[in-house]
Structure 1
Amino acid sequence: MKTEEILYRLDDIMSDSADLESLIRPLLELIAALTGMESVYFTTINPHQHTQSIVFSRNVGNMNIPEGLTVPWDDTLCKRSFEEGRRYINDVPGHWGDSETARVLGIQTYISEPVRRIDDQVFGTLCGASGSNVDVADKSLLFLRLFAQVIAQQFAREELIVQLRRMNIEYGNLAMLDALTGVSNRRALVDELNRMLARAQREGSAVHAGFIDLDNFKRINDIHGHDAGDQFLIQMAHRLKEGLRTGDFLARHGGDEFVALTMAKSPDDGVSQEGFRQRLQDLTRGHFYLGTTLLDYAGASVGVASSEPGDMNADALIAKADAAMYEIKQQRRKVQ
């Protein structure tokens, strides 16, 4: 590819990207086209746990480096590359013959470029690996460095957004939206639940209230830091909101707790109490990319309570859902 074509493509990618994933995935395709490597991938480094995780990858041919893989940092080719100041090796067996990882994966050619914070601390890498001898041009390595800088700038912007949202929390207490996650806050929750209870009274239907408690949230803050904890809350709120039906309602109740509401118009409308609980449970489970951390989250404790004819007290129904959640939490602790 000509330099002009690469720069035009990079401009398109940056214009279309809304977050790190939508930026990095097309960049990996571009890196693969530039270098001819069988596998190209983006990793994050966790200095507290001394691990490296594959966050996004693109694999062709026989080389397969899977997303979600986490390995000890001290045993990685990236660490060796940094320590030796070598970003490109086309004879890995001859140069790093003692590497078990390289032997198992059959790596012959390897490239790696660090991704740094504003303070110059390395938090991730852009890498490529191939089972054959690949001649990577100097121009391609220069573009790899440029792409790493672009990713670092996007990461810095996302960190700034998190910090600004945290600063606005104290000014959002009287608003109807939670300043951090962007979903409704507790004040809006009570107002909406009162409206839904009044509607249920008129229509002879019921309201399901799901109380969601994010288990081990304190541990996430303690291990990965409060910025990662904030990212987790933001992404969890987004997943819950996107997974609910049109007309359902989601609010952050406070701290690591959310409440979701849905109307059950009739017994056969497909919205059972247990079905709603299971849907919320499933939405909270999965992988969360928290800046420099890839978190595999086992899911929250979720309890659901349903209104009865004549129920008009929002706080009472929320309390019932909270009690149901606590019972679920106790059951999960016994299993663990």
Structure 2
Amino acid sequence: MDRLLAQLSQSLDRARTLDELARPLLEMLQTVTGLESTYLTEVDEAAGEQHILFSRNTGTIELPEGLTVPWADTLCRRALEEGRTQCDDVPARWGDSDAAAQLGLQTYVSVPVRMGDGALFGTLCAASAERHVLDTDAENVLRLFAHLIGYHIERERMIDQLRRANAELATSALSDALTGLPNRRSLEQELARMLARAQRDDRALVVAFIDLDGFKTINDQHGHDAGDRFLIAMARALESVLRGGDLVARIGGDEFVVAGIVPRENPEAAAKVLCDRLADATVGQFDLGDGRRVDYAGASVGVVLARTGEIDAGAIIDRADRAMYQTKRERRGLRS
């Protein structure tokens, strides 16, 4: 028993996954029970199925990993319903089981693996073609192993939930909640990477600042819900004209930024093409919901190129912002 406890302690210390825990436990379970097959299953009661996740077979009985069987006809389910841990005469007790007969089972032991809330995860089982009677110590070890497996699965699920929650938090910290686009923080981080990539590849970075002229009027006339729908629709319109590798972000109420890498040869022409493409994308009729639509004359777009050796993403955004205001003044002059 001391040796078993030492092996168990080592297995628990080393195990980082269910695989790393289950396999040494199945091996130890064979030693404790003297049975030739040990295995861990998962039960899907909703689907009515039982799956063998891990198994160890050293005799004539072969219970392969990955095997799926109907839960209703398993010896595990019968043992669970009868409150029975072991049976040393399977043909006499469960003679109507075709699976048991085909495998030639004589001895069968099974304990449920439960989660912290008592929900059934699966079973920990052992079987043999020979007749064996487990003593109390062996039964206690079987229950202990089942408890440890349940605890480990619970811990793995909790870690997975924490990882997903952290990933969601990280995403939300870098995303605009309304449009799902990157926010200013995310934009500045990505611009720094794009600047480094553009300089490494001897290319140019172009940054466009977009301001939705007249957005306050849409909000005032149609309400904030309609304004939100307009912003979402505008985000999708800007996304629709991006090239592969381009980036669009929402950095304020009605302000967006687009960035892309263009060839070093004549980058001013590429910047103008981007400016025109973005401006055209913002013109048109947009759905505000509830059957309402608005004819929008387009946004003001300002475009700049990153200077050679420039590394301050915030400074580039500010220059693009000033270029946008110059466009806005020119558009107002045209309309006056």
TM-score (norm 1): 0.53
2:128 to 109, 127, 130: 130
The correspondence of residues 194-205 of structure 1 with structure 2, limited to 5 A, is: 194=194, 198=198, 201=201
Larger radius of gyration: 2
Residues in 1 aligned to 2:89 and 2:195: alpha-carbon distance in whole angstroms: 69
Contact (CA 8 Å) 1:201, 1:310: kept in 2 or not? no
Residues in 2 aligned to 1:62 and 1:190: alpha-carbon distance in whole angstroms: 60
Residues in 2 aligned to 1:103 and 1:162: alpha-carbon distance in whole angstroms: 40
Q: Count how many residue pairs are aligned between Structure 1 and Structure 2.
A: 202
**Residues 97 and 166 of structure 1: is their aligned pair in 2 closer, same or farther, counting only changes over 3 Å?**
same
Residues in 2 aligned to 1:13 and 1:117: alpha-carbon distance in whole angstroms: 20
1:172 aligns with 2:156: no
Which residue number corresponds to residue 49 of structure 1?
47
TM-score (norm 2): 0.53
Residues in 1 aligned to 2:65 and 2:196: alpha-carbon distance in whole angstroms: 42
Which residue number corresponds to residue 77 of structure 2?
79
Residues in 2 aligned to 1:91 and 1:309: alpha-carbon distance in whole angstroms: 79
1:118 aligns with 2:98: no
Which residue number corresponds to residue 95 of structure 2?
97
Residues in 2 aligned to 1:127 and 1:80: alpha-carbon distance in whole angstroms: 13
**Residues 166 and 92 of structure 1: is their aligned pair in 2 closer, same or farther, counting only changes over 3 Å?**
same
Deviation at 1:135, TM superposition (A): 2.9
**Identical aligned pairs, as a percentage?**
42
- Unmatched runs of 5 consecutive residues or more in structure 2: 175-185, 203-261, 271-336
**Residues 44 and 309 of structure 1: is their aligned pair in 2 closer, same or farther, counting only changes over 3 Å?**
farther
Q: Deviation digits for residues 183-230 of structure 1, max 9, x if unmatched? A: xxxx6996798489648846xxxxxxxxxxxxxxxxxxxxxxxxxxxx
Which residue number corresponds to residue 29 of structure 1?
27
Q: Deviation digits for residues 160-195 of structure 1, max 9, x if unmatched? A: 11222333344312779xxxxxxxxxx699679848
Which residue number corresponds to residue 143 of structure 2?
145
**Residues 167 and 132 of structure 1: is their aligned pair in 2 closer, same or farther, counting only changes over 3 Å?**
same
What amino acid is aligned across from residue 136 of structure 2 in structure 1? D
- Unmatched runs of 5 consecutive residues or more in structure 1: 177-186, 203-307, 314-336
The correspondence of residues 1-336 of structure 1 with structure 2, limited to 5 A, is: 3-173=1-171, 194=194, 198=198, 201=201
What amino acid is aligned across from residue 21 of structure 1 in structure 2? D
Contact (CA 8 Å) 2:25, 2:145: kept in 1 or not? yes
**Residues 100 and 191 of structure 1: is their aligned pair in 2 closer, same or farther, counting only changes over 3 Å?**
farther
Contact (CA 8 Å) 2:107, 2:130: kept in 1 or not? yes
Which residue number corresponds to residue 206 of structure 1?
none
**Residues 164 and 101 of structure 1: is their aligned pair in 2 closer, same or farther, counting only changes over 3 Å?**
same
